[in-house]
Amino acid sequence: MTGARVLSVDVLDPRALKRHGGDADNFERWLTGRTLSSAVRRGKFLWFPLAAGAVTERDDAGGPAPEPQALVAHLGMSGQMLLREPGMVDRLTRIAVLLDSPGHGEVQLNFVDQRLFGSLARDVLLPTGDGAPGGWAGRRREDAAVIPSQVAHIARDALDPALDMPALVATIGRKASAIKRVLLDQTVVSGIGNIYADEALWAARIHGETPASRLDPATVEGLLEAVRSVLRRALAEGGTSFDAQYVNVNGASGYFAHSLNAYGQAGRPCPRCGEPIVRESFMNRGSHFCPRCQRA
């Protein structure tokens, strides 16, 4: 994606532009001809800063754009960004973007979303509050200290190199809510979903309903290290795929489901002590834990 120029844009379902602030024609005109300078992520948001000078920077009124811009993708519950051969449209493709990629030639980026909770949008890039890079860009780190306005309220990712761990430990220690709710609060720390919260709490031997304020700083720090360890292992195995909707950009499934110790293991023996894993309802989902290792 880095350095790729947008050759054409085809909005197949305008409902995938709910966060854009314009119609399909506006989105297609705005994005066509632009060059994507990198790919950056924070939580469930993915954005592609636009290279300056690729197209004359004009807003809809004809004046100069006041801030740098980015193509922002929010994945929602089932959104996917899939790389395809030109002309290939998946069954649930909502937007297809044809790119000219350096070293790869023409490739198509499909935004696929079964439930239509996600979207693509134009957004302006604002300075980050801490002066650090806006998000995580893998091996090719995006050093610009900017972030889309739609993402500014999302806290730094648990794997973000710029994450201030002591400040996060202190923030969590002031929360009276259950620790699992705090881990899932994207304004506290992002990138932790229901599956990985259960796995990290199991690894740290902490019950998810424990008030965060009752955990001492060393315990909170140990829990966050467990979170980071779980996420790194999950990434190494391609994530957790329970059905065909959870795949990577090339359509391949992840294998971390085979490494789960707590989530989805209700009734099976705990790998650590042998006690059957318990499932309880939690925010219209489920929490999985060992009643012996993770005492309330």
Report d(CA 285, CA 279) in Å as an integer: 10
Contact 100, 132 (CB under 8 A): no
Locate the domains of the chain by residue range.
5-148, 165-289
In this prediction, residue 234 has a pLDDT band, given cuts at 50, 70 and 90, of confident
SS3 content of the chain, % helix, strand, coil (to 5): 20, 30, 50
How far is it, in rounded angstroms, from Cα 175 to Cα 188? Answer: 10
Query: 150 near 74, Cβ under 8 Å?
Result: yes
Residue 98 near residue 33, CB atoms below 8 Å = no
The reported pLDDT for the residue numbered 256 is 53
165-289: what fold? Helicase, Ruva Protein; domain 3 (1.10.8)
Residue type at 251 in one-letter notation: G
CB within 8 Å of 209: residues ≥ 6 apart: 178, 179, 180, 296
For residue 226, the model assigns a pLDDT of 97
Question: Both tokens of residue 70?
Answer: 């980015």
Structure tokens at 174: 């002031």
CATH H-level superfamily of 5-148:
MutM-like, N-terminal (3.20.190.10)
97-142 confidence digits (pLDDT tens): 999 999 899 999 999 998 899 999 999 999 999 999 999 876 555 5
pTM, rounded to two decimals: 0.84
Structure-block tokens of residue 254: 């992840």
